[in-house]
Amino acid sequence: MDTLLRYTHHLFFCTGNKCLGKGNEELKILAQTYVASQGLERDIMVTKSGCLDQCEYGPMVLVYPDGKWFSGMDEAGVRNLIDQIKDNRPLLPRHLHFQFDQKKG
Ligand code: FES
């Protein structure tokens, strides 16, 4: 568990059938490659998720701890997301699909 403490963000790439069909496996690989190229592999974890039940809006990507869900992701969107995290900027609303209200229980 200690290795998880080093991460500041976790990106989940949906690999349900619809998102896979829209290229989300390739976007996940792009994210992993871009994270490594920026020297962020100790800060940003990139993994798969199962279907997020938002299939018609995919490819879907979730970012935690922000609780933000992004839809219709593409290569530029993935790079922008990682750049925003790297630069400690707020995640811009481009592609923003949903955000959990963290004030709720
Ligand atoms: S396949 Fe991605 S939300 Fe269902």
Q: Which domains does the chain have, with CATH numbers?
A: 2-99 (3.40.30.10)
Q: Is the CB of 19 under 6 A from ligand 1?
A: yes
- CA-to-CA separations, 38 to 11, 13, 22, 34, 86, in angstroms, rounded: 15, 19, 26, 6, 8
Q: Is the CB of 85 under 6 A from ligand 1?
A: no
The sheet with strand 44-49 has its strands ordered as: 44-49, 9-14, 61-64, 68-70, 96-99
Asked if pLDDT for residue 87 goes beyond 80, the answer is yes
- CA-to-CA separations, 74 to 1, 4, 90, 95, 105, in angstroms, rounded: 32, 27, 19, 9, 32
Whether the Cβ atoms of residue 25 and residue 60 lie closer than 8 Å to each other: no
The set of residues, in sequence order, having a beta carbon less than 8 Å from that of 43 and lying 6+ positions away, is 6, 7, 8, 9, 85
* Atom from ligand 1 closest to the CA of residue 16: 1
Residue 5: which pLDDT band, with cuts at 50, 70 and 90? confident
Q: Is the CB of 59 under 6 A from ligand 1?
A: no
Asked if pLDDT for residue 17 goes beyond 90, the answer is yes
* Atom from ligand 1 closest to the CA of residue 24: 2
Query: What is the model's pTM?
Result: 0.92
Ligand 1 centroid distance, CA of 2 (Å)? 31
DSSP annotation of 72 reads: S
